[in-house]
């Protein structure tokens, strides 16, 4: 199991082992931190680095997913902070999206870009479907885990991923909301798609930390507000994540579309 999120998610575990890893795509955001939850091995990766020094558009998503897979991770939970695009999705709302919309601009977003790896192997041209971008099993288990802790989540919705690091203008925010999209964040893409390309299960858990500019009437989002709401909810989000980790299927019982994402196509390289 893998969890891509802040240090608040693993700092309470006993016996955490730090593992520094390099990948053909360079270094991941930080070391992997290996621990155990309910007898299951879990690798934690601080998405922004442990000192939160990496802005969303500078994260090496390819290295992050590659590193996790290379230590045996096959199912990933990806918690992240988002802005709510509807008044009813206020701070503290937990939403488990079933769709995303990519509005990022300049990120390496595929392993199949035709560029050779450092060892000379050249990836094949492969097109992977993101029609249903999140693991259906992981989503179901995440929703159940939240309910088990009396935190009724929004089951489904669309996560708009913007390039950042700036927040949205009111016009952008109103446009996102008018499309019927639910929440807006900066890290959901290409994280989920890269996981899919490596046939990993990926489940996004979004925590609303503020109402986005188009859904509120105040002065707009501030970074301080985001941090405050995240800190206020990190304990219960960690509990839900741990319950979800315990509830995810064993590797031999994984039978979702994620496991067949390449449809038998040869990626041209050996999956880590």
Q: What is the contact surface with Zn ion in residues (CB under 5 A)? A: 135, 201, 256, 258
Give catalytic status of residue 212 as yes or no. Answer: yes
Whole-number Å distance between alpha carbons of 224 and 210: 10
193 annotated binding-site participant: no
Whole-number Å distance between alpha carbons of 188 and 171: 22
CB nearer to Zn ion: give 219 or 252.
252
56 class by beta-carbon count within 10 Å (0-12 exposed, 13-18 middle, 19+ buried): buried
Give catalytic status of residue 30 as yes or no. Answer: no
- Judge contact between 134 and 202, C-beta under 8 A: yes
212 annotated binding-site participant: yes
- At 14 the three-state DSSP class reads coil
Q: How far is the CB of 137 from Zn ion (least distance, A)?
A: 5
Catalytic residue among 119, 210, 225, 255: 210
Rg of the chain in Å (alpha carbons): 18
186 annotated binding-site participant: yes
Please give the C-alpha separations between residue 7 and each of 3, 30, 167, in angstroms, as whole numbers.
10, 11, 23
Q: How far is the CB of 107 from Zn ion (least distance, A)?
A: 23
Catalytic residue among 30, 102, 212, 243: 212
In residues, how long is the chain?
272
Q: How far is the CB of 111 from Zn ion (least distance, A)?
A: 18
CB nearer to Zn ion: give 195 or 237.
195
CB nearer to Zn ion: give 184 or 201.
201
Binding residues for phosphate: 7, 47-48, 187
* Residues carrying an active site annotation: 210, 212
């Amino acid at each position: 199991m893998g969890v891509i999120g802040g240090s608040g998610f693993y700092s309470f575990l006993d016996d955490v082992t730090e593992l520094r890893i390099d990948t053909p795509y360079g270094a991941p955001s930080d070391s992997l931190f290996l621990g155990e939850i309910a007898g299951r091995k879990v690798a934690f990766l601080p998405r922004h680095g442990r000192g939160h020094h990496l802005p969303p558009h500078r994260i090496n998503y390819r290295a992050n997913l590659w590193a996790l897979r290379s230590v045996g991770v096959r199912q990933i939970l990806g918690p992240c902070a988002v802005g709510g695009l509807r008044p009813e999705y206020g701070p503290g709302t937990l939403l488990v999206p079933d769709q995303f919309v990519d509005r990022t601009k300049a990120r390496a977003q595929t392993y199949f870009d035709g560029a050779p790896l450092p060892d000379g192997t050249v990836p094949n041209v492969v097109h992977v479907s993101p029609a249903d971008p999140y693991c259906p099993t992981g989503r179901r288990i995440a929703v159940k885990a939240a309910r088990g802790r009396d935190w009724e989540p929004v089951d489904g919705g669309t996560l708009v991923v913007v390039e950042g690091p700036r927040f949205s203008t009111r016009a952008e925010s109103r446009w996102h909301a008018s499309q019927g999209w639910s929440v807006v964040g900066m890290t959901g893409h290409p994280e989920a798609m890269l996981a899919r390309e490596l046939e990993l299960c990926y489940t996004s858990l979004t925590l609303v930390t503020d109402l986005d500019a188009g859904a509120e009437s105040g002065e707009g989002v501030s970074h301080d507000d985001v941090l405050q709401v995240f800190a206020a909810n990190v304990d219960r989000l960690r509990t839900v994540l741990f319950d979800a980790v315990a509830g995810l299927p064993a590797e031999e019982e994984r039978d979702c579309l994620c496991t067949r994402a390449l449809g038998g196509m040869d990626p041209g390289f050996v999956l880590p």
